[in-house]
Chains A and B, each alone.
With several copies, the nearest count.
Chain A
């Protein structure tokens, strides 16, 4: 089925060429700037953690303290201070926070030595990431892999312990990936909260300690089930590279990481976001983390039937940025969604066209397929069926990461039992239709092929248009998701800093240097839960 549709290869080439040009243009902006969170992430990569007495993370204190030094990068003066005091990174940060130590420009004569030491420290930092990645590879190899597609569900109680309990229940019911949703406004905080948390609404704080607790829970249940259970969290927001760092250290396996989501959906400044996504993705790449992009969101504000092609063009853009940040194709989980109004005649036929198109445009990429959300009804029985057709479309078109729809999508974040019934839905549909894709072919120039072709054509048009006006301008015009953003507006603009000619940050090089390649490999274990025969239930 991987080439079930006849696509116009020329159009595909033109799309990639345009996306490349768009990304190259933005990459120049990226290379000329740093941001607060980029600098803070660099400090975290040195091993700095913790908060001050009013709960401000030390890395924020340090970066704030050294604001005037940022155009040249925080690392040179910071490592210099380590040298001068003979203390470790954490102690220096604590000293700065305590007001004992002060960061200062490094005089030219010390630069060379400081830079060499900083490079060594950067390599050490990266080595910690590599060790975590190696551990993942080892675990997957010994514990085993679940079969594809991955069943992905969320937990969002606000309480990490409750989340962990529910995540384990979900894994036992058949979930392969657990995503912990962040609490509602966290992505707009210009710092990362610290420590374990038991309160949040609409989600749970993303903190390093919470990552660790959830990782431990999933390792435990993975061992029990005989296959590795993946953990996902969100990088996009005001602290992309910092959260990516935490994810790398705590062995997250997937991260939501989109080059434009924060801009469009969180009104985060675009100059900031493009810079932030770059380091965050370099880190994800190094850590062997699979990123998930957020094109599905476009179809919640724009109409999925009319604007389906914007998902395609944005996938090309996200791909281009991802490749520039050293991610390998197996790590690039491009997003798309099943969001056409279910009242539209032949809805599933069109969804098949859209999903199959994206499948063929990005072979080898672990596509993330999002379930229906916007049109999910309050009638949970009807919603469950729409989710069933989503599951069907997913297995038919070979999606690899299936975010499961919840029958209660219109109502609340998932209950324990919502996940359970959704997983049973998906497992049944996947097994019952597993080889259907091998059995059918699409009629040449039929409705499906024509829709796919039209989507591709419109995506190419859009990409070439965006190339001609530039991505900033396109975002300003509201060309994605019908949302307009100002290049100088939105949150976090004050944290964008033009770099000086002597800007120094050894992590960019260290993260690229001698990296491991390829996905973790393990034998497929874990049988399907659809296996338990559904013979007449009941009994009272």
Chain B
């Protein structure tokens, strides 16, 4: 079933907008804003605010309606469906079915210096009240921190014979993260070791579908908890181990 935005009345299609046009404010500025939104396909445009921000720019706040709808059932994607387990169950799974510690190496790579995200997943104290991977007795987790070159990350993962590599990418401006993430994949492939690792990426602008596209095994977005990641890693590593 098609649905449309719900403002005041179901299906009214109301959307709120704000934007800046690089033009001086004038008596007709509001009409420019209105006709612009009409050109974009909206109707019943109400310009709520239209104000000179500066002699060269005009700021707009508007409400308008669309007749376009979307059917949520037709939106299909590569969503990660992890069966979330608890701390004890994860450790038990690794112990019983893998039979050794699960090795994890993580880092914020290349120019990215944001560690709070990867720390939240890996460090002892964890995040949102649940422990980080370092606390799992059945994991051997190393958080390398920030600005780690891809080559160094790989070297460490190989040295430690890790099962999984966790990468954090927070800065996404000018798609710098795509560049870094691709660089890592290419390195792994060039070295012929891509298949040796469960490769995971996370960050506020990451999702699973995007991660898959880039060649990663999974992607985690904002508000990820260590438990989700640990559940995924344990299940995936055990699965691969048993398949092999």
Residues of A within 8 A of B (CB): 157-159, 162, 165, 168-169, 172-173, 184-185, 188, 201-202, 265-267, 300-301, 374, 377-381, 408, 410-417, 420-421, 533, 535-540
CB of B182 within 8 Å of the partner chain: no
Please give me the residue from chain A that is nearest to B210 by CB atom. Answer: A540
The answer to whether B204 touches A538 (Cβ under 8 A) is yes
The answer to whether A412 touches B63 (Cβ under 8 A) is yes
Contact status of A536 and B53, CB under 8 A, knowing A301-B115, A412-B173, A420-B59: no
Q: Which residues of A contact B171 (CB under 8 A)?
A: 184, 201-202
Please give me the residue from chain B that is nearest to A379 by CB atom. Answer: B49
Of the stretches B10-18, B160-168, B231-239, the one at the interface is B10-18
Q: Which residues of B contact A408 (CB under 8 A)?
A: 48, 63
Query: What 0/1 pattern do residues 47 to 76 of B give for CB contact below 8 A with A?
Result: 111110111110101110000000000000
Q: Which residues of B contact A184 (CB under 8 A)?
A: 111-113, 171, 176
Contact partner, A410, options B9, B14, B30, B204, Cβ 8 Å = B204
The answer to whether A379 touches B61 (Cβ under 8 A) is yes
Q: How far is the CB of B16 from the nearest CB of chain A, in Å?
A: 7
The answer to whether B8 touches A157 (Cβ under 8 A) is yes
CB of B240 within 8 Å of the partner chain: no
Q: Which residues of B contact A300 (CB under 8 A)?
A: 116
Q: How far is the CB of A180 from the nearest CB of chain B, in Å?
A: 14
Q: Pick the most buried of B50, B112, B128: most chain A CB atoms within 10 A of its CB.
A: B50
The answer to whether A411 touches B9 (Cβ under 8 A) is no
Q: Which residues of A contact B14 (CB under 8 A)?
A: 415
The answer to whether B174 touches A162 (Cβ under 8 A) is no
Contact status of A538 and B54, CB under 8 A, knowing A408-B48, A411-B63: no
30 A-B contacts (beta carbon < 8 Å): A158-B174, A162-B9, A172-B53, A172-B54, A173-B54, A184-B112, A184-B171, A188-B147, A201-B173, A202-B173, A300-B116, A301-B115, A377-B49, A378-B48, A378-B61, A380-B48, A408-B63, A415-B8, A416-B53, A416-B57, A417-B53, A533-B128, A537-B48, A537-B61, A538-B222, A539-B30, A539-B206, A539-B221, A539-B222, A540-B34
Q: How far is the CB of B47 from the nearest CB of chain A, in Å?
A: 4
- Majority SS of interface residues in chain A? loop
The answer to whether B46 touches A538 (Cβ under 8 A) is yes
The answer to whether A540 touches B46 (Cβ under 8 A) is yes
Q: Which residues of A contact B8 (CB under 8 A)?
A: 157, 412-416
Please give me the residue from chain B that is nearest to A539 by CB atom. Answer: B221
Query: What 0/1 pattern do residues 149 to 185 of B give for CB contact below 8 A with A?
Result: 0000000000000000000000101101000000000
The answer to whether B49 touches A540 (Cβ under 8 A) is no
Please give me the residue from chain B that is nearest to A416 by CB atom. Answer: B20
Q: Which residues of A contact B174 (CB under 8 A)?
A: 158, 201
A416 to B60, CA, bound (A): 12
A468 to B112, CA, bound (A): 35
Contact partner, A301, options B53, B55, B116, Cβ 8 Å = B116
Q: Pick the most buried of B54, B111, B113: most chain A CB atoms within 10 A of its CB.
A: B54
Please give me the residue from chain A that is nearest to B57 by CB atom. Answer: A169
Question: What 6 pairs between A and B have smallest CB-CB spacing?
Answer: A539-B221, A378-B49, A169-B54, A185-B111, A540-B47, A201-B174
Q: Pick the most buried of B20, B47, B53: most chain A CB atoms within 10 A of its CB.
A: B53
Q: How far is the CB of B84 from the nearest CB of chain A, in Å?
A: 18
Contact status of A201 and B204, CB under 8 A, knowing A301-B119, A412-B63, A417-B53: no
The answer to whether B54 touches A379 (Cβ under 8 A) is no
Q: Which residues of A contact B10 (CB under 8 A)?
A: 162, 165
Q: How far is the CB of A29 from the nearest CB of chain B, in Å?
A: 25
Q: Which residues of A contact B49 (CB under 8 A)?
A: 377-380, 537-538
